[in-house]
Structure 1
Amino acid sequence: MSPLSRRNLLSLAVLGGAAAVTAACGGKDADAAGSGENWTLRIGTIGSKNQLTSPTGYVHASNGLLPLLASAKVGAIEVYTFPNGPDLNQALVGNRLDLASYGDTPALIARGAGQPTRLISQANVANDAGIVTVKGGVSALHELDGKVIATQTGSYIHRYLLGALADLKITPKKIVHVYSTDTEAALEKNSVDAAAVPANYALLFQGKGYPLLELASKDRPRYLGTSATVVTETVLKNQPAIVAAWQNAQIEATRKAKANWDDYITWNTSLGAFPRELVARTVRPEQLPDTPFTEAGLTLLKGTKDFLVEQKFVKSDFSVDDWIAPGAGRV
């Protein structure tokens, strides 16, 4: 696939998305979002269940998040989940969300395309991914030249895949969009030669006999993903206190998660179809920063942004420091 084709694929994935998904979220007048007392905070995230993930999701599951946002006059929380970042971006464009926590790649590309968001924290750093192949397929990454590779386009996994291919100067025949939840079927039917997926899927598939070619954490740590929590500029204007409130909530939620790690792993296990043992291998305390931003997290984020700009996936370059919301602080 040519660089132009890859760029078009990723750009379309990020800017596209199903209208039906956005229609599921509650719409508001653009200027009124977040206005008034006891306003409803509409949060978007990625997942298969209608639940927040990460430490903030952990405390929200026990009704502990709303009280932590009282200083920002939040009276209720609505959570909307999406299968991937591009679909979530479409909801942001349609003024269906006030705040979103998702992967860095779609958040960066959307900002580079002029989407009016501001970065307020990184809830996760060092998000891992891996590349698996069909049974009886290639045995090394360089053998993927001319092959068909599946991934969730527009995601941090997609960015990792493109980085790995660029490192080895590999040109696949095609990169096709397949949700991680549907990847096993594609591998089983040999409709693709390999797939880039989150680390939990990669290890799950490896246990089922699909060869694991590599993990980003071991082989290409500079391509590890991070999360980005963003707020719309309209909500930031109407409720500037949301920045400090959310950051403090994240800090407190992370503290509780680390203090009750076994319970946190059990809760994470309930979010998906992965055995607890595998969740414990892929959800690690060091991925959860104790502050809204860390030097390591911002370094990964800036590296991802620079890569996306170089590959022309980001339409217009911008400063990550300038993207950070006023009052959100720096490292």
Structure 2
Amino acid sequence: MSARRTLPVLLAAVLALSACGQAGAGDGAAASSGYTLRIGVIGSGNKLTGVFGYLQDKGKLLPLLTGAGVRKIEVYSFPNGPDLNQALVAGELDVASYGDTPALVARGAGQPTRLIAQSTVGIDAGVVTKKQGGPTSLAGLAGRKVATQKGSYIHRYLLGALGDLGVRPAEIVHIYNTDVEAALERGDVDAAAVPAANLELLRSKGYPVIDVASEDHPAYLGTSATVVPEAFLKDHAGLVPAWQAAQAEGTRQAKADWQGYLAFAEKVGGFPAEVTRKTTLASQLPEQPFTPQGLTLLENTKKFLVQQAFVKKDFAIDDWIAPGARR
């Protein structure tokens, strides 16, 4: 099946629920009033990452959300965006924080979500090849087998970069980022598009890097998207300003204690310190919930997905942003 046909299948809102698994530890016990906020993220271990994870690790996240009625936080992690979308459409999550591509496709497929913030802007990625006999440039991917985590911003970057050059691989296969090295080592694939941290880790092990989004294709840098179901907002509109304020505070604290934030990122990410420090950038943490750069990248991504027919129905980003959200 071609990449053009596969991505919509993976990303569109589906009817079946993907099991969430065991809830992560919250910031405190549930009180007699209020509600439990169920947050879906990409990763493993049911842990928040980024500035929200940094706040939660210090026990400071829940107090910033109690004014909106939140009494407990549960975190559910998913391997990729399409899986998270399954839980979101089934009503098993209140907040989803993930890459912009699956969030946009879900909205374009009719999933009733509202965008409340972008906590990370300018997320990098790149293409790495097998050590022996691999292609030496993106042009060399023509007729080759390439891996990526389909349905992600990385997939979108790969398709955009290849499209700019008119390059057509023989096949683009779905492989999770954690399994890419084994696939390259076995020769199952000739190259793979991966996030920045995975890219640098593979580079340190001798795998050639032939493209980096931030250096070669900055228009295809990714952003994060935090969305909530419209039905949830009807009863919990106060979460929007509380969430945005928590993001601003988390960003402020992270930048004020950058070494502490890097230590947290290393712990939760599981990458070596040198990789974490090279790929965790203060410039990627915006001071506001929405920035001109973030919205521009988001709009460009949406246009690309519409052109590729991955987004089934176009929509205005302004109409997607939640009412009352500070921009």
Q: Do 1:101 and 1:228's aligned partners in 2 also have CA atoms closer than 8 Å?
A: yes
Indicate which of 9, 12, 16 corresponds to 1:15. 12
SS at match of 1:69: helix
Is 1:304 the equivalent of 2:301? yes
Q: Rate the CA distance shift 1:16–1:256 in 2: closer, same or farther, 3 A.
A: same
- Counterpart among 292, 316, 319 of residue 319 in structure 1: 316
Partner of 2:44: 48
Name the SS for the 2:116 alignment partner: strand
Alpha carbons 1:258, 1:285 under 8 Å: kept: yes
3-state SS, counterpart of residue 214 of structure 1: strand
Counterpart of 2:28 in structure 1 is none
Deviation at 1:20, TM superposition (A): 7.1
Deviations 1:6-56 (Å, cap 9, x if unpaired)? 222111121378967435378xxxxxxxxx941110000011222101101
**Partner amino acid for 1:103?**
G
3-state SS of paired residue (1:139): coil
Deviation at 1:84, TM superposition (A): 0.7
Partner Cα distance (1:37, 1:326) in 2: 26
The aligned length equals: 318
**What are the ranges of 5 or more consecutive residues in structure 1 without an aligned counterpart?**
27-35
Given the alignment, which residue of 113, 118, 121 partners 1:122? 118
Indicate conservation of the 8 Å contact 2:121/2:284, yes or no: yes
Write out per-residue CA displacement over residues 155-187 of structure 1, whole angstroms, 9 at most, x where no aligned residue: 000000000110110111110000000000000
2:253 aligns with: 256
The separation in 2 between residues aligned to 1:73 and 1:250, in whole angstroms, is 17
Aligned to 2:94: 98
- CA shift in 2, pair 1:322/1:106, >3 Å: same
Q: Which residues of 2 match residues 24-173 of structure 1 at below 5 A?
A: 24=21, 37-136=33-132, 137-173=134-170
Q: Which residue of 2 aligns with 1:32?
A: none
CA distance in 2, matches of 1:16, 1:181: 25
Q: Distance in 2 between matches of 1:272 and 1:25?
A: 19
Q: TM-score, normalised by structure 1?
A: 0.93
Q: Deviations over 1:226-284 (max 9, x none)?
A: 00000111111101101000000100011111111001001000113311111011010
Unaligned runs of 5+ in 2: 24-31
Structure 1 segments of 4 or more deviating over 4 A? 16-20
Q: CA RMSD in A?
A: 1.6
Counterpart of 1:240 in structure 2: which amino acid?
A
Residue 174, structure 1, aligned to residue 171, structure 2: yes
User: Could you list the per-position Cα deviations for residues 275-316 of structure 1 after superposition, in whole angstroms to 9, with x for gaps in the alignment?
Assistant: 111101101000000110000000000000000001110010
Amino acid in the other structure paired with 2:102: P
Contact 2:114 2:227 in 1 (8 A): yes
Does structure 2 retain, via aligned residues, the 8 Å contact 1:18–1:87?
Answer: no
